[in-house]
Amino acid sequence: MEEFLKQLPKLAKDKHKENKTFFTKLKKKAPKNLDYIMQDLHAEEFERTDCLTCANCCKTTGPLFTDKDVDRIAKHFKQKPQQFIANYLRVDEDNDYVLQSVPCTFLGADNYCSIYDVRPKACREFPHTDRKKFQQISNLTIKNVAICPAAFNIVEEMKRRIKL
């Protein structure tokens, strides 16, 4: 995994143009069963990929925190939401709450998340490869393949299986 993570930014860069073209076509004529295809690809990939050997999303990019996330996690720490925000979060250029710094402060040296049961929705859903109407988040996915080895593999398999 370590070696793959080292190579990933270059691999993603090399595939960037091809991925752009693929997703532009996919947006225009997505197969009717795309949701099912994505569920299969996602499940197959995460049977092979163990996030505990990676944690690259937690190390290099942080999640957005919704108000619900803030309330839930603050409660977990027995803090007021404002106190939790002051301790850990900042407002980014899109006016969203994000981590003050990465790697995520809740990530352990063993790659376990110390707030796993109450973690943000964005962490639970990353890399979003099993979401419905996957073609609608193509720009985000093109970015994520440079961070997430599973997303990279899933997009490569998509291109093999879906002929456009």
Q: Give the single-character DSSP code of 33.
A: T
Does 55 engage in binding with ligand SF4 (CB under 6 A)? yes
**Among the residue ranges 32-40, 56-64, 76-84, 128-136, the one whose residues contact ligand SF4 (CB under 6 A):** 56-64
Tell me: does residue 106 bind ligand SF4 (CB under 6 A).
yes
For residue 60 the two structure tokens come to 């290099």
Which of 130, 159, 132, 124 shows the shortest CA–CA distance to 16?
Answer: 159
Closer Cβ to ligand SF4, 41 or 123, answer by number: 123
Tell which one of 15, 41, 63, 98 touches ligand SF4 (CB under 6 A).
63
Is 88 a binder of ligand SF4 (CB under 6 A)? no
Q: Is 118 in the site for ligand SF4 (CB under 6 A)?
A: no
Task: Kindly state the DSSP code that residue 110 receives in the 8-state scheme.
Answer: T
Dist CA 141 CA 66 (whole Å): 20
The distance of closest approach from Cβ of residue 52 to ligand SF4 in the complex, given in angstroms and rounded to an integer, is 8
Closest C-alpha to 84, from 103, 105, 111 = 105
Question: Is 138 in contact with 158 (CB distance < 8 Å)?
Answer: no
Q: Which residues bind ligand SF4 (CB under 6 A)?
A: 49, 51, 54-58, 62-63, 104, 106-107, 113, 115, 119-120, 123, 126-127, 147-150
